[in-house]
Amino acid sequence: MSVEKNFDEYLSSSVLFTIRKESIMNINNQLLPYISFLTLTTKALQINKTEINYLARLYIYIAITVVLLLMTGNASSARIDAIKADMQLNEAPLLNVAETDPRTWLKRGTITMGGAPRGDATPTWWKPANLTYKSSLSWNAITPWFVISPGVDNAAKNVRVKVYGITLHVLDKSTNEWKRFDTGSFGNPTWARNQDYSGGGTKFFGKADSRTEPDGAISYKLNDDSNVIHGGSPMLDITKYIEPKNVAAVFIQLKTQLILDNPAGVDDRASAQILINVAADYYPEITSKISDFSPMGYAPAVGTSRFGLVKMEPRNHYMTTIDPPGTPKANSEYLLKGGGVAIPADQFEANILDGKIW
């Protein structure tokens, strides 16, 4: 048997140089240029397998392995940091939202019902006439949503916000596995309307200006009054994926990009200050309606992310029911009795680094 074959068998069986398949498969797209560089470099060297020194080949394998693992770790760490940051303060003040506005979710990430889809996890101030909705019964549906808002310094007019790639994962506490819900092949939103959150209330102004882009994504344009745009995905049946009582955490992400409304017009994207958050609501059943909660005019949220800036390059925005320092949680009977609506950030990090979401 040749030295070369002995070396390949040694390398494939060695504990030191065994690379988990799933770790390599989970390398972020941004690492591909580096991998291509390594491939080109290897070809340029014109390594002759029959002549290369055994030790030199070993060094090459070690170097490539270390570089790939380091780059994978750095990418995962950066994304974890971004997820934590998206549950903190807004990146800029929103237009028509005063500093004294008591609605915390318009200023930062919040957790309301969190990882507890049940009636007694609704906020104490949420009081529907039908008290069944305040019981310990499970809630069986969830819907992701977002709000696009101009910032106080927005000056752009010829811009649209492209929103796509909505994904929703739920952590199963019985198996510690993430369940990905079906939000469509592109993860596009399916509804959006103009709203006004100023003055402490909510007013509706019809459907938002939406457009399907050449890549299949949906984009939105703020109206002349700079009202916010509230949109989202259809309601999803939790029970198709997981027992509601086994929900431990919820993780949602969407992608955005600032594009031109009129490609032939003035490119004023540099003067834009438009922000977006991502969130979700629970519902008792997939057939439930807001009117069921009368006199309440809304469903309690799972949680909301901060409002992050939409940029000219594609960007991810995240909401997750983790407990980094400072993220406020709504009071509820369930929480006051010792129930948990969030998991520690380090538990989320340890779990998500296992590659079960991306």
In this predicted structure, the answer to whether residue 115 has a pLDDT above a threshold of 50 is yes
Spatial distance between the Cα atoms of 74 and 258, rounded to a whole number of angstroms: 27
Higher pLDDT, residue 156 or 31 = 156
Per-residue pLDDT reduced to its tens digit, 15-43: 333 333 344 344 444 444 444 444 444 45
Query: Which pLDDT does position 122 carry in this prediction?
Result: 98
What's the Cα-to-Cα distance from 166 to each of 136, 163, 197, 208, 261, rounded to whole Å?
30, 8, 24, 18, 22
Spatial distance between the Cα atoms of 107 and 94, rounded to a whole number of angstroms: 8
Spatial distance between the Cα atoms of 142 and 285, rounded to a whole number of angstroms: 9
Neighbours of 55 (CB within 10 A): 9
Query: Which pLDDT does position 58 carry in this prediction?
Result: 56
Reduce the DSSP state of residue 10 to 3 states and report it: helix
In this predicted structure, the answer to whether residue 69 has a pLDDT above a threshold of 70 is no
Query: Which pLDDT does position 327 carry in this prediction?
Result: 86
In this predicted structure, the answer to whether residue 68 has a pLDDT above a threshold of 80 is no
Spatial distance between the Cα atoms of 90 and 163, rounded to a whole number of angstroms: 19
Query: Which pLDDT does position 346 carry in this prediction?
Result: 87
Query: Which pLDDT does position 165 carry in this prediction?
Result: 97
Query: Which pLDDT does position 8 carry in this prediction?
Result: 41
Question: H-helix or E-strand containing 196?
Answer: strand 191-196
* Reported confidence tier of residue 4, pLDDT bands at 50, 70, 90: very low
Query: Which pLDDT does position 35 carry in this prediction?
Result: 46
Query: Which pLDDT does position 53 carry in this prediction?
Result: 61
Spatial distance between the Cα atoms of 140 and 118, rounded to a whole number of angstroms: 8
* % the chain with pLDDT above 70: 76
Reduce the DSSP state of residue 276 to 3 states and report it: strand
Model pTM? 0.79
* Reported confidence tier of residue 56, pLDDT bands at 50, 70, 90: low
Query: Which pLDDT does position 216 carry in this prediction?
Result: 96
Q: In 3D, which of 206, 93, 200 has the Cα closest to residue 149?
A: 93
Query: Which pLDDT does position 201 carry in this prediction?
Result: 67
* Reported confidence tier of residue 231, pLDDT bands at 50, 70, 90: very high
What's the Cα-to-Cα distance from 67 to each of 27, 37, 38, 60, 346, rounded to whole Å?
12, 12, 10, 11, 25
* Reported confidence tier of residue 299, pLDDT bands at 50, 70, 90: very high
If phi > 0 it is left, if psi is from -120 to 50 it is alpha, else beta; for residue 16 that is: alpha
Per-residue pLDDT reduced to its tens digit, 272-284: 999 999 999 999 9
Spatial distance between the Cα atoms of 356 and 170, rounded to a whole number of angstroms: 11
What's the Cα-to-Cα distance from 105 to each of 109, 177, 301, 306, rounded to whole Å?
6, 29, 10, 7
In this predicted structure, the answer to whether residue 318 has a pLDDT above a threshold of 90 is yes
Q: What mean pLDDT is predicted for residues 248-269?
A: 97
Q: CB under 8 Å to 204, separation ≥6 — which residues?
A: 193, 194, 195
Q: In 3D, which of 349, 346, 345 has the Cα closest to residue 322?
A: 345
Query: Which pLDDT does position 166 carry in this prediction?
Result: 98
Biggest alpha carbon distance in the chain?
82
Query: Which pLDDT does position 65 carry in this prediction?
Result: 52
Pairing of strands 141-150, 203-207: unpaired
Q: What mean pLDDT is predicted for residues 335-339?
A: 95
Q: Are 322 and 344 in contact (CB under 8 A)?
A: yes
Average pLDDT, the chain: 84
Reduce the DSSP state of residue 293 to 3 states and report it: helix
Spatial distance between the Cα atoms of 84 and 28, rounded to a whole number of angstroms: 18
Spatial distance between the Cα atoms of 348 and 291, rounded to a whole number of angstroms: 35
Distance from the Cα of residue 50 to its chain's centroid: 49
Q: Are 183 and 146 in contact (CB under 8 A)?
A: no
Query: Which pLDDT does position 28 carry in this prediction?
Result: 44
Per-residue pLDDT reduced to its tens digit, 183-223: 998 999 999 999 998 876 678 889 999 999 999 999 999 99
In this predicted structure, the answer to whether residue 268 has a pLDDT above a threshold of 70 is yes
Spatial distance between the Cα atoms of 296 and 300, rounded to a whole number of angstroms: 10
